[in-house]
Structure 1
Amino acid sequence: MDAISYERATDVSAAIKAAQQPGAAFIGGGTNLLDLMKGGVARPLKLVDITHINSLGSVTPLPDGGLRIGALVRNSDAANHAWIRGRYPLLSQAFLAGASAQLRNMATVGGNLMQRTRCYYFYDTGFSQCNKRAPGSGCAALEGNNRIHAILGASEQCIATNPSDMSVALAALDAVVRVNGPQGERAIPFAEFHRLPGDHPEVDTTLKSGELITSVDLPPPLFADHSHYLKVRDRASYAFALVSVAAALQMDGDTVKTARVALGGVAHKPWRATATEQMLVGNPLSHDTLQRAAALAVRDAKGYRENRFKIELAQRAIVRAVSTAGGVA
């Protein structure tokens, strides 16, 4: 077993300084990182404990009417926070759809953003072919067990999917991830935070070395009255999504005024279905409109031996989620 050093940080500056050592990793709830360490997938040389940084543990209003969720807010606390439940019910639903009650009580918002994929071949070091774990080794999932894998945005280097429910809702809500690091603070639009695999599937996000997530900022609420998070999975709880849909609408009578649709379980990152959104705007939620809008979301999809069913499943899930959000289901 490798030796691991440990340092507890009490403020953001100290955490960033402590993480400059090669092989350092931040740890909050640890629900994903510890799994990776136990399996030999992650081998940090130093753990920087950020759980005592009080400034990262609260939910606060923003001057523009939005909301700032600290990176250390527990998933269960975020799901049940009165402001989030009342103003961003889509996000509350997504939190409650994730993992189990026990894990939600430990997992943090910042850690949720950093979840690694749940690909069988990535987690099992007995398989040598995994470009995400060992760049250049190949992707065993291409010809192997790929039922849970991507149908959109994949590459020949990796067809893994992002496992986060929270992130699908944040993509639909146009959230912003705030980070701090050796070069100072910056804000990352949510659509730019996670990466598609391309030629470097080992890189999941656009975070720079040593950067720490400090919060997630939500814009002023627009969709409190018409939103729905739908998760299709093999079990009713404690299972990752085969396909999930975050649907958020502004309605003008029976007509869609604004639409946001994001998919989970289908790509290396939360997938915004922008063509679907454009089709919905200005139209009533008729059966024909919903069917055509859903088909646009998967027009570039590519299925593999065991996951081609996801192409049809994604369309059906979009129709159901949007219909429910719009109150016509």
Structure 2
Amino acid sequence: MGACSIGCPNSDTETSGKSLYIGSCYMEKHPKIREIFNVENPKSNFYSKCLTVVSGPDFVNLTFDNFVAFKANVVKGVLFSHVCSIYQMFPADRKRVEAALVASQLPRLKTDLINPEDFTESTFKVFLSHLCLRPEVNQIFELMDVMVKPYLTRQQLSTFINTIQRDSRLPDFLFKLAQPEQVQKLIEKYEPAKNNIHKGHMSPEGLVWYLSGPENCLLYPDRLTVYQDMTQPLSHYFINSSHNTYLTAGQFSGISSPEMYRQVLLAGCRCLELDCWKGRPPDEEPVITHGYTMTTEILFKDVIEAIAESAFKTSQYPVILSFENHVDS
């Protein structure tokens, strides 16, 4: 089975895609369901025809949407099947789509194809700015009282950056106000019209790209990737760790799930806990559970499979398995 992270929720109430599994699925243990799908028959090749989309507002409250194809090769191509015609995506805004294609000097007929070499970053910006209008940028121009002219002067842009866009809590001696020469460099960097650059003006389109640039990022751009020295011994680092990883609820009567291991690994966790106990006779197959409590049991092998599938999908760094071993046979 392959697992990959495809997004994360950004609020307590929003349901957002969390992970996608290809070549396996979250299969109910109910014998009737397993019988219908002939799961136990190795010749059925059932799991190779499965795809599961996992979504939910957090790690615990997850929804599993299982899809079963009639052939395994159908599942392998599923990641590409979401590509569809832009005309079908925006049926009510077809004229706007056509206008965006014309403004970008891209082919606009239904049977036309776009040459990837012609679809440069600058072309994409023009297309996106005409397709996805940003009325809030016009509000900035209204706020600066410049709606009569379609640009901000260098002085007006300086005022916007230093008084409106700037965090008033920042101390001036550490975070200097933007100077005219710095503002001009921003105009040269983001303003698409050369005539405006020479005059020190910024158009609404240029302002959109400035606001989308690294200068306005919530985090320092160099902090979005690993910037620390990662060559030191393991004991020199704080480890993103999980306690009682298997539990979806309290450690006295909560439900255990192998899915918890997948989700915390995809979220970047690097240390997992496995409380191993002897299973029920006659096989006594090892299980993961919180001993001497009413928490449910899950098979040790299911947990190891979940870890193997997801350990290095979102991080290349070592995974520490913290075993609490109570198995004596």
Does TM, scored on the shorter chain, surpass 0.5? Answer: no
Structure with the larger helix share = 2
Structure with the larger strand share = 1
If the TM-score is normalised by the length of the shorter chain, which range does it land in?
A: under 0.3
**Greater relative contact order structure (CA < 8 Å, 6+ sep):** 1
Superposition TM-score, scaled by structure 2 size: 0.21
Superposition TM-score, scaled by structure 1 size: 0.21
Question: Greater Rg, structure 1 or structure 2?
Answer: 2
